[in-house]
Structure 1
């Protein structure tokens, strides 16, 4: 906490302080108070700007996928998807590692014809899936594997359901 102290010195002409002197001192005190308040506000703004810069750096890290990772996935030859049985309710996701889950997700988007329907470029899809995977935390349940499972289950419902769910969702 700041405490301001001011000392009044007798006037040079030896006369007592008058109403004008009182007003002048009050104006000076207000000026000093505003100056101190402005310094405190500037300090708060500088701290907030520093916090914002750190937050943006963290968000940028999580939202950025290196181009080489995208290119690596774009050049991968997908394995035999039929062997994975993605369209089945008894699909076992533990047969896939995290990279294979990305490839399987790409396959599901392609099978559902979403790239053409929504005019999604292949590179954009790959980058988006890698970003989603990167942003999931490595925890017991709500993680990348769980997200993939939900996507695979919806894919299965849309593709093999006896009721034509595809026309309602796509």
Structure 2
């Protein structure tokens, strides 16, 4: 990976913690994927993308923002990417799949909260994920009670818009979902 220290610093990434996170990724990826027998040559582009996962893409997002564009983070397939694209924003799927972030998440959330929720909170408040640091806004959804509370807390760190997901498929629920989409368009 190239040297993106200046970019990460400008985004507010905790460089020391980020280095610890990134130190294990090449070994894990290499041991899992690069040692596969008969791995197709066509995967080399994917291998390159993964090697630059916190570099080139973050640089692209930063350039988009410097040119007046916005970056919107999401976690769920229910958030309509079409709306984000129509707003000339870039939507990025955020992850919470690392145990590494849980400790920082527990600084603002109860220990008995779901690990996934504590991880995404920790990624943002710990400043270790440049994708979270690149977001101008995050769109959350009401898929569980833990996330509902987490969005309130996360809004103290980055603007959050919450889409209320209907729990059933009745006509009135479709109408309500239509209103949620209109609300995100306004936002």
| TM-score using structure 1 length | 0.28
More strand by share: 2
- The structure whose residues are more often helix, as a share, is 1
Specify the structure having the higher radius of gyration (Cα). Answer: 1
